[in-house]
Amino acid sequence: MNNFIRFLERFHFVILFVVLFAISVTMYLNTTYYQKSQVGRLTKGVSGVIAGQFSNIGQYMNLKRVNIELTQENVALRNELERMRVIIEEVEHTPRLDSLSGAKYWYFPARVVNNMVNRRHNFITLNLGASNGVMPGMGVVCGKGIAGVVSSVSQNFCTVISVLNIDLKVSAKHSKSGIFGSLSWDGVNYREVVLRDIPLHVDVAVGDTIVTSGFSAKFPRDIPLGVISDFHNKDGNFYTIRVRLFADFKRLDYVYLVKSYEGPEINKIEITTHD
């Protein structure tokens, strides 16, 4: 009891101020409708800001789910696009003897669990393996181009030779002319690769698009890879062309493994011919 009395003696001015302030606010709010509306507007504004912040937090927490849903949707669209490509080819060209009725390629998504960009021999690790049907030699594409080729497979994971690996060469072509060459990385800039073997008679220009040629069973044709950033005459016969990649390999997250239905047959007949 003595402690309570001493507390009142010490803080009685503060307590009196709080009580009088509360009475004043109550009387002010009950005076006119205008005062009530002003205070109401202020409280609504504050509550709106708080609600907005909670909404932003909720959206951030849902990003992973949204990314997965978008990836699944992208896979469905890619597969549908491949089916439509085959239908168009059958309509525009002479039907093949096997009466192709399905897609040449099938896509399925994978998640990047490890990625290197700062070495000369860079690799990417994906969260799918033999148990998911992954095999060495399968192509890997991303949202803005190609990512590489599967090199080794375990039960649940696989490693991919990245486009940013000086040992990987990809068949690519100058989109406007249709002339193809060999595309590879020179180990310098992770955003640029080099296209070689394009003859000097081809009319190339900075800004022209480079796409996959389709001459390899690993990748469908006409996948946009990048644009020409520079070119020069190397040895009097061919251009050396620098290509600015559309894909930013430092941002790789979800990619798509490419299953080629024609790949095994093509590889078999090519091996037989070479032998």
Domain match, 33 and 106 both: no
pLDDT average, residue stretch 173-178: 95
> Is 115:253 a contact under the CB 8 Å cutoff?
no
In a domain, 3, yes or no: no
pLDDT at 93 over 50: no
Element (H, E) at 64: helix 63-92
Confirm if 173 and 195 have CB atoms less than 8 A apart. Answer: no
Q: Which long-range contacts (CB under 8 A, 24 or more apart) does 224-228 make?
A: 224/144, 224/145, 224/175, 225/145, 225/146, 225/172, 225/183, 225/193, 226/145, 226/192, 226/193, 228/195, 228/204
pLDDT of residue 176: 94
246 with 269, same domain: the answer is: yes
At 182-211, the pLDDT tens digits run 999 999 999 999 999 999 999 999 999 999
Task: Specify the higher pLDDT residue, 234 or 62.
Answer: 234
Element (DSSP H or E) covering residue 257: strand 254-260
Mean pLDDT, range 238-255, rounded to an integer: 94
141 shares a domain with 86: yes
Q: 99-156, pLDDT tens digit by residue?
A: 334 568 888 889 999 999 999 999 999 999 999 999 999 999 998 999 999 999 999 9
Number of domains in the chain: 2
Residues 56 and 68 occupy one common structural domain: no
Question: Which pLDDT score, from 0 to 100, does residue 168 have?
Answer: 96
Note the pLDDT of residue 94: 43
What domain range is 200 assigned to? 64-274
Amino acid at site 176: K
Same domain for 120 and 21: no
Portion of the chain with pLDDT greater than 70, in percent? 57
Indicate whether 126 and 208 sit together in one domain: yes
- The answer for residues whose C-beta is within 8 angstroms of residue 252's C-beta and 6 or more apart is 112, 115, 124, 142, 147
pTM exceeds 0.75: no
Q: Contact 147/252 with Cβ under 8 angstroms?
A: yes
95 has a pLDDT exceeding 90: no
Instruction: Answer yes or no: is pLDDT of 51 > 70.
Output: no
